[in-house]
Amino acid sequence: MKILVIDNGSRFLPQLLKKLAKQKVTIVRRGFLGRRRLPDFDVAILSGGHGRSIVNHRKFYKSEIEFVKKSKKPILGICLGFEIIAVAFGGKLSRLGKKEERGEVKIDALERDGILKRIPKTFDAYEAHKWVLKGAPCQLVSVAQSVDGIEILKHRARPIYGLQFHPEATDRKGIGYKILANFLREFS
């Protein structure tokens, strides 16, 4: 399987690449998306970011928003990637009441198929973000939530998923790895 990783500057990129070690991975930095022809790929992963949010910086992520809207290939967005997917389809992000979510959070799965196949109904995942999506826009549906809002969303008709947490970050029970593996298996 050929995986395109769009690197938004995530500090967890080395962990993500380690989890994808058995795959053929091509990395494209966010700033180069749209400036050159993309290599052939089967699925794309939008990494988390560091620093600049999509809120108030939509122009900065314009090429990724267009990529999400136009791609016919499966896409998985992680943290900032989740937020890019939400905004691409009309979602409204709100600032968390606290400064930033950092650490493990309990997530409740609303569905148990697709990328959540063989995943416990409630699981812990690592988060590091300031923005939340409270309600899914009409083209997207929530498939998992926490007390803060939507944690996993999927497109109703296209193979697009977003994770507000970091499946590639340390997770003692291997849930994050299983979710990534389920995504890759579903579209291989």
Please give the positions annotated as active site. 79, 166, 168
Q: Which amino acid is at 15?
A: Q
Q: What are the CA-CA distances from residue 17 to residues 6, 128, 172 (Å)?
A: 12, 19, 18
3-state secondary structure 132-188: EECCCCCCEEEEEEECCEEEEEEECCCCEEEECCECCCCCCCCHHHHHHHHHHHHCC
CB 152 within 8 A of CB 163: yes
Q: Which two tokens stand for residue 21?
A: 């070690």
